[in-house]
Amino acid sequence: MERGQENDGEREKGKANNSMVSSSAFRKDVVNVLDFIERLKNKQNQIGLDLNLIEALKYGLAFICTSVQLSYFDLDKFEDEMARKGQEVEKMVRSILYMTSMWMLNVDYNVEDKYDMHHVLPRLMDNIDDCITHVIILHQVPPLLRSS
């Protein structure tokens, strides 16, 4: 019986460690999205970007990053809140990409491909999901296993 519990703990610990890698990948994707947005802001007069949308996106990403890193929250509400924030972020990024693509059609310039955004957005959304899973698993792993 104890051996089975020990194996379950090892499995949960392994899942938590795998998700930690996703957390760093998530941060990298956030930086890539923000870098892309900053480059677009330099062309805002040409593209017609909504600066309020960009600021809302930055706050949304900051909220998700902070929540995942601090993990000081009600775990029952965390998953729902993160899913909601993730959807908001995805809508904002898609809206910005849509505005950008309209601009690109007019000037024959493919910003989305240049900055690899067609890969970054799906990866970002996957990493948000992985970070949510990581936090949930981390709260399920007994404290003694976390420290080893």
Reported as a pLDDT band with limits 50, 70 and 90, residue 21 is: very low
Q: What is this structure's pTM?
A: 0.51
Phi, psi of 42 (to 5 degrees): -65, -20
Q: How many domains does the chain have?
A: 1
Domain span holding position 7: 2-147
CB contact at 8 A, 127 and 20: no
pLDDT tens across 52-108, in order?
777 787 777 777 777 766 665 566 677 777 778 888 888 887 787 777 666 655 554
Q: How far apart are CA 32 and CA 58, in angstroms?
A: 12
Contacts by residues 125-128 (CB-CB < 8 Å, ≥ 24 positions apart): 125/86, 125/90, 127/22, 127/23, 127/25, 127/26, 127/29, 128/26, 128/64, 128/82, 128/86, 128/89
User: 36, 93 in Cβ contact below 8 A?
Assistant: no
